[in-house]
Chain A
């Protein structure tokens, strides 16, 4: 995943990025935000992937949220940055696996490993491991023979 250094974004100066810092905004497919025009849609030059947020942009929004004193929101955006790479169906399946009594401890451990291995999603993996730990203590894991 793309990691950027601190850009020293100032919420009071740089937000909204779409009007104040469009120079920083690219899609994961490498298009500039200003290339996302109606003419490009009509010409068939845009795919749904061109309307996705880039991990880098989420990290910038995290920096802005931090700057506004919202550390939990920033942390959410950092997990989101990790999750941009995960296909839609896999995201939905992972969410379903985190529901109560849906997964064994081993399945959640495997999910956390997959997040780290396939997507370098350390923060999200940590969330899953924490869930596994709480689910075990609160008896919310699926039985191993299910």
Chain B
């Protein structure tokens, strides 16, 4: 046979082979299937916006009569939407609202007067009329806090408290405002949460910490002052999935008040794709359901939300316009005046280019927490199943900040400072463990922990003894105050002062206000005293002064006066 006779099925071009070998081919992509909700946005099955108010009560919303409301509809209608603003806001064309949201000259406050009266379907129409650049323009103005910030994960595949303390200290030193941990073995939680707190306060006083656990346990650690805030309070966009999560909007609203009653900052968590992943999207688009979640958070009176698909990012990431939908859900949270911790926190792609592109809609305009969180530990140690950003990316992140002059919350730190703070954090934890009669941390562990990248480089701990001690921490009623006393007694007076400073904040309640973080000098920065004032070119937050000088530093920068030398 000649070559023209034979179909060339088995033969590929060299270029195809090269393309087939690219990391992006390992990612999963699927066609849209709107009937089951496997569609990011712009679904033909999402409801048309509508509202009817009688005697101050919403009796019809998005085409559904009040008697047919599921519990999310009812909660949103009765708690999230400002009835006095609704009819006027709903009468405006969605595209006109979108234009105002994007327009830098329309003040943020004016937008909030409109958005408080919009139904889920209307909010959906508004963001569906925006392209991704418009979404970023809008986010730049609508983000609640003027100054962006960032959050890190500090976890360990072996739940090793030594590793968690060292990496938490390094992350705090590098600029993260919040640190989050979680566990492989849940019973380890008290020791790991203590390590996170001690490490964090060693790295930079005022960083706030959380331990992601089942709702009731997470609250208990917070009540004891071992953690400083909470985030993994999940809400879902359909009633059946919400019930599968063993909660309702009312139980979550109760929980929100329970946290506030102890002076503890908290935010809810939700994200596109969770409902279809959990098997009941009721034929709605991912973004429509997520907007319902955002409004549940608003109605519950919680100050903020972690969203941006979060642990379900593979789902919107697999369908067309999915990453645009994720940017849109962050924007809707900000349009409803909630603090937004904007995701980028779960690995979703093998392609470094996709990983980077996926973060631009949050990094470029800035969000309250651009990544939530950025892994402060190698992928194998990340107990949140891996982040979109790893410690190997620290210098890339710092370089991107410097290239584009955008503030992603981090800074370059010289190695000697990193090593010093890691060592101090582990020794502080060693003192706390000794003071509280917990299994000792050896000097060998201190030394290994200073120089380690991951848990495998640390001596293994006696897990059974640690677990026994962890139970003891709970049984003995150890609180944050005991940690303060043990730190002081162990000679770490400055770390003790830092931790007490964080605990004292709960007496003032200042951290309960929207988008609140603590500066290095323990001054609170929130959407009240650091409100976003972006109003076009030359306004709003722009890196300047000391912060910009700090952002210019990288690991290797040549001196202008002596090109043979690198600047410190």
Residues of A within 8 A of B (CB): 11, 15-19, 22, 25, 27, 33, 36-38, 41-42, 46-48, 51-54, 57-58, 60-61, 64-65, 68-77, 79-84, 86, 88, 91-92, 94-96, 98-101, 124, 127-128, 130-131, 134-135, 138, 140
Residues of B within 8 A of A (CB): 70-71, 74-75, 78-80, 82, 109, 112, 215-216, 219-220, 223-225, 239, 242-243, 246-248, 250-251, 253-263, 298-303, 337, 479-481, 484-485, 488-489, 493, 496-497, 500, 503-510, 512-514, 523-524, 526-529
A88 near B506: Cβ-Cβ < 8 Å: no
Considering only CB atoms, which chain A residue lies closest to B297 in the complex? A72
Q: Given A36-B500, A81-B261: A70 and B488 within 8 A (CB)?
A: no
A16 near B524: Cβ-Cβ < 8 Å: yes
B256 near A42: Cβ-Cβ < 8 Å: no
Interface centre among A47, A60, A100, by most B CB within 10 Å?
A100
A135 near B485: Cβ-Cβ < 8 Å: no
Closest 8 CB pairs of A and B: A76-B301, A80-B260, A53-B263, A131-B250, A83-B261, A18-B508, A98-B251, A79-B257
A95 near B509: Cβ-Cβ < 8 Å: no
Considering only CB atoms, which chain B residue lies closest to A132 in the complex? B250
What are the residues of chain A within 8 A of B239 when measuring CB–CB? 138
Determine how close the nearest CB of chain A comes to the CB of B506; give it in whole angstroms.
6
What are the residues of chain A within 8 A of B524 when measuring CB–CB? 16, 18-19
Partner of A95 from the list B255, B481, B504, B508 (CB cut-off 8 Å) is B255
Partner of A135 from the list B70, B248, B253, B303 (CB cut-off 8 Å) is B248
B479 near A48: Cβ-Cβ < 8 Å: yes
B251 near A99: Cβ-Cβ < 8 Å: yes
Considering only CB atoms, which chain B residue lies closest to A55 in the complex? B261
How far apart are the CA atoms of A37 and B546 in the complex, in Å? Answer: 31
A17 near B508: Cβ-Cβ < 8 Å: yes
How far apart are the CA atoms of A135 and B74 in the complex, in Å? Answer: 11
How far apart are the CA atoms of A37 and B503 in the complex, in Å? Answer: 11
Determine how close the nearest CB of chain A comes to the CB of B67; give it in whole angstroms.
9
What are the residues of chain B within 8 A of A37 when measuring CB–CB? 500
Q: Given A18-B505, A57-B508: A38 and B251 within 8 A (CB)?
A: no
Q: Is the interface of A mostly helix, strand, loop or mixed?
A: helix
Partner of A19 from the list B78, B303, B488, B523 (CB cut-off 8 Å) is B523
B70 near A70: Cβ-Cβ < 8 Å: no
Considering only CB atoms, which chain B residue lies closest to A22 in the complex? B508
Interface pairs (9), CB distance under 8 Å: A17-B509, A65-B514, A69-B109, A72-B80, A76-B256, A80-B259, A91-B261, A92-B219, A138-B239
Considering only CB atoms, which chain A residue lies closest to B484 in the complex? A41
B481 near A92: Cβ-Cβ < 8 Å: no
How far apart are the CA atoms of A16 and B142 in the complex, in Å? Answer: 22
How far apart are the CA atoms of A77 and B500 in the complex, in Å? Answer: 23
Q: Given A18-B510, A51-B480, A68-B527: A76 and B302 within 8 A (CB)?
A: yes
B254 near A124: Cβ-Cβ < 8 Å: yes
Determine how close the nearest CB of chain A comes to the CB of B144; give it in whole angstroms.
10
Considering only CB atoms, which chain A residue lies closest to B215 in the complex? A95
Determine how close the nearest CB of chain B comes to the CB of A11; give it in whole angstroms.
5
What are the residues of chain B within 8 A of A100 when measuring CB–CB? 242-243, 246-248, 251
Q: Given A52-B263, A68-B528: A61 and B512 within 8 A (CB)?
A: yes
How far apart are the CA atoms of A130 and B250 in the complex, in Å? Answer: 8
How far apart are the CA atoms of A109 and B302 in the complex, in Å? Answer: 25
A57 near B507: Cβ-Cβ < 8 Å: yes
Determine how close the nearest CB of chain A comes to the CB of B26; give it in whole angstroms.
39
How far apart are the CA atoms of A129 and B542 in the complex, in Å? Answer: 48
What are the residues of chain A within 8 A of B254 when measuring CB–CB? 79, 94-95, 98, 124, 127-128
B219 near A134: Cβ-Cβ < 8 Å: no
What are the residues of chain B within 8 A of A61 when measuring CB–CB? 509-510, 512-513
What are the residues of chain B within 8 A of A127 when measuring CB–CB? 250, 253-254
What are the residues of chain A within 8 A of B514 when measuring CB–CB? 65, 68, 70, 73
What are the residues of chain B within 8 A of A27 when measuring CB–CB? 507
A15 near B263: Cβ-Cβ < 8 Å: no
What are the residues of chain B within 8 A of A16 when measuring CB–CB? 508, 510, 523-524, 526, 528-529
What are the residues of chain A within 8 A of B303 when measuring CB–CB? 73
How far apart are the CA atoms of A82 and B257 in the complex, in Å? Answer: 9
What are the residues of chain A within 8 A of B225 when measuring CB–CB? 48, 51
Determine how close the nearest CB of chain A comes to the CB of B486; give it in whole angstroms.
10
Given contacts A73-B301, A130-B78, 17 further A-B contacts (CB under 8 A): A17-B508, A18-B508, A22-B508, A37-B500, A38-B496, A53-B261, A68-B513, A70-B337, A72-B79, A76-B302, A77-B509, A84-B262, A91-B219, A95-B215, A98-B248, A100-B251, A134-B250
Partner of A11 from the list B79, B242, B489, B528 (CB cut-off 8 Å) is B528
What are the residues of chain A within 8 A of B488 when measuring CB–CB? 38, 41-42
How far apart are the CA atoms of A74 and B216 in the complex, in Å? Answer: 24
B247 near A53: Cβ-Cβ < 8 Å: no
Partner of A124 from the list B257, B504, B513 (CB cut-off 8 Å) is B257
What are the residues of chain A within 8 A of B497 when measuring CB–CB? 38
Determine how close the nearest CB of chain B comes to the CB of A110; give it in whole angstroms.
16
How far apart are the CA atoms of A22 and B505 in the complex, in Å? Answer: 11
How far apart are the CA atoms of A58 and B89 in the complex, in Å? Answer: 32
What are the residues of chain A within 8 A of B509 when measuring CB–CB? 17, 53, 57-58, 60-61, 77
Partner of A65 from the list B80, B219, B507, B513 (CB cut-off 8 Å) is B513
How far apart are the CA atoms of A86 and B223 in the complex, in Å? Answer: 12
What are the residues of chain B within 8 A of A41 when measuring CB–CB? 481, 484-485, 488, 496, 500
What are the residues of chain A within 8 A of B75 when measuring CB–CB? 134
Considering only CB atoms, which chain B residue lies closest to A124 in the complex? B257
What are the residues of chain B within 8 A of A94 when measuring CB–CB? 254
B258 near A95: Cβ-Cβ < 8 Å: yes
Considering only CB atoms, which chain A residue lies closest to B112 in the complex? A69
How far apart are the CA atoms of A140 and B251 in the complex, in Å? Answer: 12
A38 near B493: Cβ-Cβ < 8 Å: yes
Determine how close the nearest CB of chain A comes to the CB of B449; give it in whole angstroms.
26
B513 near A33: Cβ-Cβ < 8 Å: no
Q: Given A51-B503, A124-B254: A96 and B216 within 8 A (CB)?
A: yes
What are the residues of chain B within 8 A of A51 when measuring CB–CB? 225, 480-481, 503-504, 506-507
